Amino acid sequence: MTEPHRAAGARNIPADQVGLLQRIQALALRSGQLLQQMYESGGDARTSVQAITEINAVDRDRDLTEIKARAAGVPDEWVDRVRTLGQRGYPWREDQPLPDPAPRARRSTIRRVADDVEQLKDMAAVHATYLHTRPVDDPVSDMEQAVTQQLRRNMAALWMRAGRTAESIGMSTRERAVLWAVTPREWQQRIAHYLVDKDLGELHTRWRGHGDPAIANAARKSLGRLRRAGEHGPEVPLPDMPMPPQQMLNEAHTAFADPDFPDNAHSAAISAAVEAALPDEAPSLEWTAEDPPLSGTSGPQNEHRAESELEP
């Protein structure tokens, strides 16, 4: 049975989508109210820490609701609008105007770019966690070397496809900035997810999955189509690209070593696990500053290397 529709402005929107939009706006509003109350109260440090913890929890709830909304087909433009209205102190109204969404084909392509960038972030977090939880004295196996090398190739291919695709559909600077950005807090949350919420078996399965050659093969096919359309190749300058894979891995490792994890229900377990898992010396599978940069991450020579390596 089809969900009944409810009006938002001059539009008829499915009731489940309206509910998600209402919640996003209400959570954004609540976060701002809590922040204002904290500043106005002039409380002591303990009160401020409690307030910040509550604000972080509300923001995390909103982030998850936004993910659910996009998965349910809510246009990004509507999600952005209600979040902004809530942050500015406006509650939801049934006659609230919403902007025109982008054409469905473009929205679908933007979602594919977002999926590539999300996978890159997850690969970096998983690889960092794998390195920091494996026994330091264990010799590096042939399997580990193979997975690591393929994971690098997969990340390079996804990185190139995300940047080239974003350019081909005319994504704005703001749209790219939202997708590309990764804060230290986000890296910490991603690391904590695998370090605390998952067992080692699940982590290892995820790590091996990120080393599947099918990932790079699929990306190369997409790049082949872009090349035939004149939007990819050694002669085509690189556009505004996502954070290079090397930088993603470096930042993931840095976040893992940072003891200042966000306050949450697992904070004590995270701190203990990090201290227990950190090796005295980095295992040889880790990407270090001395490693040669990934193809296409910096400089014109690397750009051309990336183009040739990723040709189908």
pLDDT band, very low/low/confident/very high, at 177 (cuts 50, 70, 90): confident
Instruction: Say what the pLDDT of residue 258 is.
Output: 66
Q: Inform me whether the pLDDT recorded for 29 exceeds 70.
A: yes
Q: What is the DSSP string of 125-150?
A: HHHHHHHHHS-TTSPPPHHHHHHHHH
Average pLDDT, whole number, for the chain?
77
**Do residues 252 and 191 make contact, with C-beta atoms less than 8 angstroms apart?**
yes
H/E element holding 8? strand 5-8
**Do residues 110 and 23 make contact, with C-beta atoms less than 8 angstroms apart?**
no
The predicted model scores a pTM of 0.55
Q: Assign 5 to helix, strand or coil.
A: strand
Of 294, 300, 286, 256, the residue nearest 154 (C-alpha): 294
Parse the chain into domains and list their residue ranges: 5-87, 104-309
Of 128, 95, 126, 123, the residue nearest 13 (C-alpha): 95
Of residues 78 and 174, more confidence is placed in 78
Mean pLDDT of 171-193: 83
pLDDT band, very low/low/confident/very high, at 189 (cuts 50, 70, 90): confident
Strands 5-8 and 11-14: antiparallel
pLDDT band, very low/low/confident/very high, at 195 (cuts 50, 70, 90): confident
Mean pLDDT of 203-210: 94
Highest mean pLDDT (candidates 63-67, 175-179, 275-279): 63-67
Neighbours of 41 (CB within 10 A): 11
Supply φ then ψ for residue 73, to 5 degrees: 95, 10
Q: Inform me whether the pLDDT recorded for 234 exceeds 60.
A: yes
Site of tokens 């950005």 = 181
Q: Assign 262 to helix, strand or coil.
A: coil
Q: For residue 235, give both structure tokens.
A: 């002669």
Neighbours of 38 (CB within 10 A): 17
Query: Mind listing the pLDDT tens digit for each residue in 94-131?
Result: 888 888 776 555 556 777 888 899 999 999 999 999 98
Q: Assign 280 to helix, strand or coil.
A: coil
Q: For residue 66, give both structure tokens.
A: 């936004």
Of residues 211 and 194, more confidence is placed in 211
Query: Mind listing the pLDDT tens digit for each residue in 252-311?
Result: 988 866 665 543 334 444 444 444 444 444 334 443 333 333 333 333 334 333 333 333
- Using CA atoms, how far residue 45 sits from 53, 58, 127, in Å, is 12, 20, 37
pLDDT band, very low/low/confident/very high, at 26 (cuts 50, 70, 90): very high
